Amino acid sequence: MENKDCRHRRILSEVHECVQKENDFLITTHINPDGDSVASILVFASILRHLEKTYLVVLDDNVPNKFDFLPRIDEIIHFKEQAYPLQPKVLVVLDSSDLERIGKVREIITSDVRIINIDHHTSNQEFGNINVVAEEESSTVEIVYALLSLWEIPMSKEIATFVYTGIMCDTGRFRFPNTTHRSLMICSEMVRMGASPDRIAKNLYCRMSQETIRALAAALSTIEFHLSGAVCCIHLPYSAFPMIDRMDTEGFVDYVTAVEGTEVGFFMLEKKPNLFRISFRSKSCVDVNEVAQTFGGGGHTRASGCTIEGRVDQVRARVLDVLRGYM
């Protein structure tokens, strides 16, 4: 029987063979892109550019403004229902547990397109023709980093910045349990190659628009505690912030999990009337990936998400009903 290491090397070699042979790539990731997904895209694009391949990077959602300091961020195109300058032969999906999560980008894809699926989520459905799913890695960018050596691509300050950013974001600034010896060693090497921890952290965590700080204040004003204080939640209504897509709300859920005595926190963001995106975090006992999967979502043991329809009181009640079984 093929062991895990051998299988991983074999699959990486399949990616190598496909990229060498094909041209016309479309790179994408999940809706609501985060630091790991953005970094993974930019590193994979660097590989294709080094190999002089033709590619496009198209996302369903706009990239949050906080990533505007990253080199080549303007290569990322926001999906629109229009003609594109190439018909892709290969779709590269990064950091997405299933094809549904890439949103409207699916409309560009024809049935004969080969799919390379690169991810580290335990909930990944292995939907690709080639599936590189490594749950033990801290982030998807850590997997893409391993691909650089297949083509002997020299490390640059630009790529080092991408890799450091992706790992730092997906480990929660090196606070989450997925922070490994390997991920810290890679980040150390990225700093040696020119990544600036100070500059990256300042751009990502030390600046906030006026609209975002107002949204945070509004969300925190809704705070509630449930199940004897073990669960804390907040929400942000669409009616108060209809331009919510222009704000960075990714870290809002971290405020509720910081409360002493709380095991699980969740943030309900109303993206459209009666349509909530739920972000879950847990500290030590509850597998919120399982909770999110109950509602068709997924992610990691300590951080996950899903989308639920209904009024805020209905959505909250449904989530609490599921969480009650874990407490």
What CATH number is attached to the domain comprising 227?
A: 3.10.310.30
On whether both 169 and 220 belong to a single domain, the answer is no
Report the number of distinct structural domains present in the chain. Answer: 2
**pLDDT level of residue 90 (50, 70, 90 thresholds):** very high
Q: Given this model, what pLDDT does residue 145 score?
A: 96
User: Does 83 have pLDDT greater than 80?
Assistant: no
On whether both 194 and 241 belong to a single domain, the answer is no
* Residue-range definition of the domain harbouring residue 320: 210-324
Greatest Cα-to-Cα distance within the chain, rounded to the nearest angstrom = 58
Mean pLDDT over 137-151 rounds to 94
**The pTM of the whole model exceeds 0.85:** yes
The residues facing 114 across adjacent strands are 90
Q: What is the pLDDT of residues 224-270, one digit of tens each?
A: 999 999 999 999 999 888 776 667 888 899 999 989 999 999 999 99
On whether both 32 and 117 belong to a single domain, the answer is yes
Q: Which two tokens stand for residue 108?
A: 């560009």
Question: What does the alpha-carbon distance between residue 233 and residue 223 come to, in Å, rounded to a whole number?
Answer: 6
Residue 95 — φ and ψ, nearest 5°?
65, 30
* Residue 46 · residue 55 · CB < 8 Å: no
On whether both 28 and 165 belong to a single domain, the answer is yes
User: Does 273 have pLDDT greater than 90?
Assistant: yes
Q: Given this model, what pLDDT does residue 199 score?
A: 97
DSSP output for 257-310? HTSTT-SEEEEEEEEETTEEEEEEEESSS--HHHHHHHTT-EE-SSEEEEEEES
Q: What is the pLDDT of residues 283-309, one digit of tens each?
A: 988 999 999 999 998 888 888 999 999
On whether both 195 and 277 belong to a single domain, the answer is no
Last residue of a domain, one of 178, 204, 230: 204
Last residue of a domain, one of 204, 237, 262: 204
On whether both 214 and 192 belong to a single domain, the answer is no
On whether both 137 and 9 belong to a single domain, the answer is yes
On whether both 135 and 280 belong to a single domain, the answer is no
On whether both 70 and 120 belong to a single domain, the answer is yes
On whether both 197 and 63 belong to a single domain, the answer is yes
Sorted by sequence, the CB contacts under 8 Å of residue 109 that are 6+ apart come out as: 26, 88, 91
Average pLDDT, the chain: 92
On whether both 184 and 249 belong to a single domain, the answer is no
Q: At what angle do helices 140-148 and 35-50 cross, to 10 degrees?
A: 20
Last residue of a domain, one of 170, 204, 238: 204
* Residue 315 · residue 308 · CB < 8 Å: yes
Q: Given this model, what pLDDT does residue 208 score?
A: 85
Q: Given this model, what pLDDT does residue 1 score?
A: 54
Amino acid identity at 269:
L
Amino acid identity at 85:
P
User: Does 82 have pLDDT greater than 80?
Assistant: no
On whether both 154 and 292 belong to a single domain, the answer is no
Query: Could you give the 3-state DSSP secondary structure of residue 109?
Result: coil
Sorted by sequence, the CB contacts under 8 Å of residue 64 that are 6+ apart come out as: 33, 248, 250
Mean pLDDT over 142-160 rounds to 94
The CATH number of residue 15's host domain is: 3.90.1640.10
Query: Could you give the 3-state DSSP secondary structure of residue 55?
Result: strand
Residues above pLDDT 90, as percent of the chain: 72
Q: What is the pLDDT of residues 184-233, one digit of tens each?
A: 999 999 999 999 999 999 999 998 888 889 999 999 999 999 999 999 99
